[in-house]
């Protein structure tokens, strides 16, 4: 591979390999210190090559958001997979096909109806616990948890344990709130597991996780594994809640200036929402970053320049409202990088990464992404 | 193909072929009455099969938003293509490769810098005109238009004409505003062409278009072609501005109920933003439809049920704020259809359509989508 970030037709994703490595090392060290295993969520990168950076190319325990991810990782030798979206019964044949190939694929559920179907299929399951009212799950106390577990066991399936996700931590404000979210996530999961064990279930797995709580957890007593995905790339939403800084963002969208409207204060690029996604996750944070911060091709941020609007194949760059910074002189043809609000959503718009060496524009590799469901 | 909408793993796109046909007929009749050609924008459907419905399988004049679309359509025999995003010079080799294969591919530009590059390549160009301050383009009057045209001609390239897009029509409110947007779009384009002709340029093409203005134009005197793309599928944004009704939406996302939270008033599905996109286009309309209206698998709308929130692989359905409608009893495993805010953005999340026969769940075809740039 001999080309550089100046060569591919824009828009495309650039991925800084050394930043990914640093982000992985940072979370691994933190979790090693807490004595708990990392079960990386591959939904952000959806890349065998990024996952290979987790442990020197060796297959590790992973979390997936789609069966397409499970199938791709299984084909690459991964054998310990949690599918962390509530199971729909019609997807069980694909789950069983993977299990028959020797993959320990565990599913997630939070209802008796699902437990009946999963039990009949004989698939081990984690029971989803609601720790913060964010999405699905049953309370850590109460009859639903035990009823689901009983249903599984009665059909001969294994209650693998409990799983919870502190989804509300993405809206936490400040270190104290993040530490509290992490402790609440831990406490709910451990209490649920203890309630299962008191009822005679082994429930060996106590799985928690989100990138904010994974980084802010100070004690994970009773937890057996932490799931996190975004941490490999990070994004402006994570920077906004204080989990990282913009310098930690490993993935950017490269776009080209295709127009200038000085009368409007606009620079137009060929990076529209097909390239960035429509995600406006920072809009509800203290600092709204529009569709993203803008850097030059070497990664230097352009002062107070944001991608402020998007249509299908056009991005609009303009100065942050309230700033007196001048609109930079970016001639037509200039390439820029957009730092995304939400790495998962931006990456999902693309089918590959252009991987760069540290401090260089040289593209060393092109890594494909797993698509579909 | 023997399966039905009950069979494929969810989420996926369902496409009602008869609604597409009716939407095409409606716009064709309107434009036939105005004596102007339709140059369909294929950026919404990105499908050779949908495009084949435009004129009984015969290649027609099309507009594209990416060179990937141009290349796919050229390979299928399409020979009259406008690439309606301002050209970046580094993309000209792909443009030239298509032209050398006999494709009359025209590019778009609005600056002298682009005209120098396009002129040197000898590619015919349309000059983009700004009719409503929405995005790019030069004013229909003023020196820029003539300077760009002169630059093209001096390098031996052809000034094919002018192109404008009434992007602000997507925010128009009411029939009068839409008619005014259509007339403004027409007037700006025609005036720009007349200014070019007065300066000695032939400028045979006067291209206007957006789905709202295409439908609301009452007179297109001086216009030679209308571009529209969304009209084949329509969406809730178009319904919100009165261009169609929800019954005209041809494309929906099929998802499965995977959880219920009656305590929260939520039904959870496996259709998250990877399936619907993050587009919230109706949020700025009079009626905010969340991430979309919800219908049963036969297409009957469920009263006041919206997809109100989305995470990567989860959708949240709940009752419209302020409504007293009860949360419907949708058992786990039930399939629903989500009517999208923005068909272009929702379709872009998928790589195929499951095509249904009129009034039936039977899937007659699976049509692929063109991806990437």
In a domain, B109, yes or no: yes
Instruction: Answer yes or no: are the C-beta atoms of A88 and B258 closer than 8 Å.
Output: yes
**Residue B174: exposure state from Cβ atoms within 10 A (0-12, 13-18, ≥19):** exposed
- Domain check: are A202 and A286 in the same one? no
Quote the pLDDT of residue A172. Answer: 87
Give B-chain residues touching A13 at CB under 8 angstroms.
none
In a domain, A6, yes or no: no
Least reliable range by pLDDT among A167-176, A258-267, B139-148: A167-176
Containing structural domain, residue A337? 250-368
At A233-251, the pLDDT tens digits run 999 999 999 999 999 999 9
Phi, psi torsion values for A44, nearest 5 degrees = -80, -55
Instruction: Answer yes or no: are the C-beta atoms of B367 and B353 closer than 8 Å.
Output: yes
Instruction: Answer yes or no: are the C-beta atoms of B214 and B31 closer than 8 Å.
Output: yes
Which CATH number characterizes residue B285's domain?
2.40.37.20
Give A-chain residues touching B136 at CB under 8 angstroms.
258-259, 261, 268, 314
Chain A interface mutation, best of B96, B267, B275, B312, highest count of A Cβ atoms under 10 Å: B312
Instruction: Answer yes or no: are the C-beta atoms of B11 and B275 closer than 8 Å.
Output: yes
At B178-203, the pLDDT tens digits run 999 999 999 999 999 999 999 999 99
Is there a contact between A268 and B135 if contact means CB atoms under 8 Å apart? yes
Q: Average pLDDT, stretch B101-119?
A: 98
Quote the pLDDT of residue B2. Answer: 56
In a domain, A11, yes or no: no
For A212, residues 6+ apart whose C-beta sits below 8 A from its C-beta are: A166, A169, A170, A172, A178, A181, A182, A238, A241, A243
Q: Tell whether ipTM is more than 0.95.
A: yes
Nearest CA in chain A to B86: A258
Quote the pLDDT of residue A9. Answer: 97
Q: Which of A182, A199, A234 is the last residue of a domain?
A: A234
- Domain check: are B95 and B215 in the same one? yes
Quote the pLDDT of residue A358. Answer: 80
- Domain check: are A146 and A199 in the same one? yes
Minimal CA separation from B359 to chain A, in Å: 24
Is there a contact between A259 and B136 if contact means CB atoms under 8 Å apart? yes
- Domain check: are A171 and A295 in the same one? no
Residues of chain A above pLDDT 70, percent: 99
Task: Give dist(CA A99, CA A83) in Å, integer.
Answer: 12
Quote the pLDDT of residue A106. Answer: 98
At B23-38, the pLDDT tens digits run 999 999 999 999 999 9
Task: Give dist(CA B116, CA B89) in Å, integer.
Answer: 9
Q: Which of A136, A268, A278 sits opposite B279 (nearest CB)?
A: A278
- Domain check: are B158 and B98 in the same one? yes
Phi, psi torsion values for B333, nearest 5 degrees = 100, -15
Is there a contact between B372 and A349 if contact means CB atoms under 8 Å apart? no
Is there a contact between A135 and B268 if contact means CB atoms under 8 Å apart? yes
At B247-256, the pLDDT tens digits run 999 999 999 9
Instruction: Answer yes or no: are the C-beta atoms of A177 and A166 closer than 8 Å.
Output: no
- Domain check: are A178 and A219 in the same one? yes
For A349, residues 6+ apart whose C-beta sits below 8 A from its C-beta are: A273, A274, A275, A276, A277, B348
Q: Which of A192, A210, A234 is the last residue of a domain?
A: A234
Quote the pLDDT of residue B359. Answer: 79
Minimal CA separation from B255 to chain A, in Å: 10
Q: Which of A200, A234, A268 is the last residue of a domain?
A: A234
Task: Give dist(CA B91, CA A296) in Å, integer.
Answer: 20
Quote the pLDDT of residue A28. Answer: 97
Give A-chain residues touching B278 at CB under 8 angstroms.
277-280, 345
Chain B interface mutation, best of A11, A90, A297, A345, highest count of B Cβ atoms under 10 Å: A90
In a domain, B27, yes or no: no
Query: DSSP H helical segments within chain A, as ranges?
Result: 17-34, 48-52, 67-75, 92-100, 112-121, 143-154, 175-198, 211-216, 236-240, 273-276, 343-347
In a domain, B240, yes or no: no
Quote the pLDDT of residue B290. Answer: 98
Categorize the per-residue pLDDT at A173 as very low, low, confident or very high, splitting at 50, 70 and 90: confident
Q: Which of A91, A111, A351 sits opposite B9 (nearest CB)?
A: A91
Q: How many CB atoms lie within 10 A of CB B328?
A: 16
- DSSP letter, residue A122: T
In a domain, B359, yes or no: yes
Count of domains observed in chain A: 2
Which CATH number characterizes residue B116's domain?
3.20.20.10
- Domain check: are A76 and A131 in the same one? yes
Quote the pLDDT of residue A152. Answer: 98
Give B-chain residues touching A12 at CB under 8 angstroms.
373
- Domain check: are A142 and A206 in the same one? yes
**What is the residue-averaged pLDDT of chain B?**
97
Higher pLDDT, B105 or A358: B105
Give strand pairing partners of B295. B301, B337
Least reliable range by pLDDT among A357-361, B75-79, B144-148: A357-361
Give strand pairing partners of B364. none
At A185-228, the pLDDT tens digits run 999 999 999 999 999 999 999 999 999 999 999 999 999 999 99
Is there a contact between A111 and B43 if contact means CB atoms under 8 Å apart? no
In a domain, B238, yes or no: no
Quote the pLDDT of residue B357. Answer: 87
Q: Which of B9, B113, B258 sits opposite A373 (nearest CB)?
A: B9
Quote the pLDDT of residue B130. Answer: 97
**What distances in angstroms separate CA A135 from CA A111, A229, B49, one per listed residue?**
14, 18, 38
Q: Average pLDDT, stretch A300-310?
A: 97
- Domain check: are A203 and A57 in the same one? yes
At A43-78, the pLDDT tens digits run 999 999 999 999 999 999 999 999 999 999 999 999
Is there a contact between A43 and B313 if contact means CB atoms under 8 Å apart? yes
Quote the pLDDT of residue B173. Answer: 83
In a domain, A97, yes or no: yes
**What distances in angstroms separate CA A352 from CA A13, A57, A230, one per listed residue?**
7, 19, 17
- Domain check: are B78 and B217 in the same one? yes
- Domain check: are A283 and A343 in the same one? yes
For B109, residues 6+ apart whose C-beta sits below 8 A from its C-beta are: B86, B87, B115, B118, B125, B126, B127, B128, B148
Q: Average pLDDT, stretch B305-310?
A: 98
pLDDT at B275 over 80: yes
Quote the pLDDT of residue B358. Answer: 80
- Domain check: are B307 and B199 in the same one? no
Q: Average pLDDT, stretch A98-111?
A: 98
Instruction: Answer yes or no: are the C-beta atoms of B318 and B305 closer than 8 Å.
Output: yes
Q: How far does CA B93 lie from the centroid of its chain?
A: 26
Q: Average pLDDT, stretch B110-124?
A: 97
Task: Give dist(CA A113, CA B176) in Å, integer.
Answer: 53
**What is the residue-averaged pLDDT of chain A?**
97
Categorize the per-residue pLDDT at A2 as very low, low, confident or very high, splitting at 50, 70 and 90: low
Quote the pLDDT of residue B100. Answer: 98
Nearest CA in chain B to A352: B372
């Amino acid at each position: 591979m001999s080309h550089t970030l100046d060569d591919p037709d824009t828009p495309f994703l650039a991925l800084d390999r050394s930043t990914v490595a640093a982000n992985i090392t940072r979370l691994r060290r933190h979790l090693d210190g807490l004595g708990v295993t990392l079960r990386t969520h591959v939904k952000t990168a959806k890349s065998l090559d990024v996952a290979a950076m987790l442990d020197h190319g060796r297959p590790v325990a992973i979390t997936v958001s789609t069966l397409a991810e499970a199938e791709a990782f299984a084909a690459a030798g991964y054998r310990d997979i949690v599918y962390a979206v509530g199971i729909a019964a019609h997807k069980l044949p694909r789950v069983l096909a993977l299990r028959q190939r020797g993959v320990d694929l565990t599913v997630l559920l939070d209802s008796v109806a699902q437990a009946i179907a999963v039990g009949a299929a004989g698939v081990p399951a984690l029971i989803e616990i609601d720790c913060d009212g964010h999405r699905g799950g049953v309370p850590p106390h109460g009859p639903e948890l035990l009823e689901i577990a009983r249903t599984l066991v009665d059909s001969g399936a294994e209650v693998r344990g409990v799983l919870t996700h502190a989804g509300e931590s993405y809206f936490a404000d400040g270190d104290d709130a993040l530490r509290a979210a992490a402790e609440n996530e831990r406490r709910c999961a451990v209490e649920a597991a203890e309630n299962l064990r008191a009822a005679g279930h082994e429930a060996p797995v106590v799985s928690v996780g989100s990138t904010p709580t994974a980084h802010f957890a100070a004690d994970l007593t009773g937890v057996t594994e932490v799931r996190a995905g975004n941490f490999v790339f990070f994004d402006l939403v994570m920077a906004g809640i204080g989990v990282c800084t913009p310098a930690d963002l490993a993935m950017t969208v490269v776009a080209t200036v295709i127009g200038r409207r000085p009368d409007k204060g606009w620079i137009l690029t060929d990076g529209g929402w097909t390239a960035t996604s429509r995600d406006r996750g920072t809009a509800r944070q203290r600092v709204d970053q529009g569709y993203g911060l803008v850097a030059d091709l070497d990664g230097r941020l352009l002062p107070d320049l944001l991608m402020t609007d998007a249509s299908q194949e056009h991005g609009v760059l303009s100065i942050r409202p309230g700033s007196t910074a001048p609109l930079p002189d970016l001639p037509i043809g200039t390439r820029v990088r957009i730092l995304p609000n939400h790495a998962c959503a931006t990456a999902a718009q693309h089918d590959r990464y252009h991987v760069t060496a540290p401090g260089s524009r040289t593209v060393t590799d092109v890594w494909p992404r797993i698509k579909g469901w």
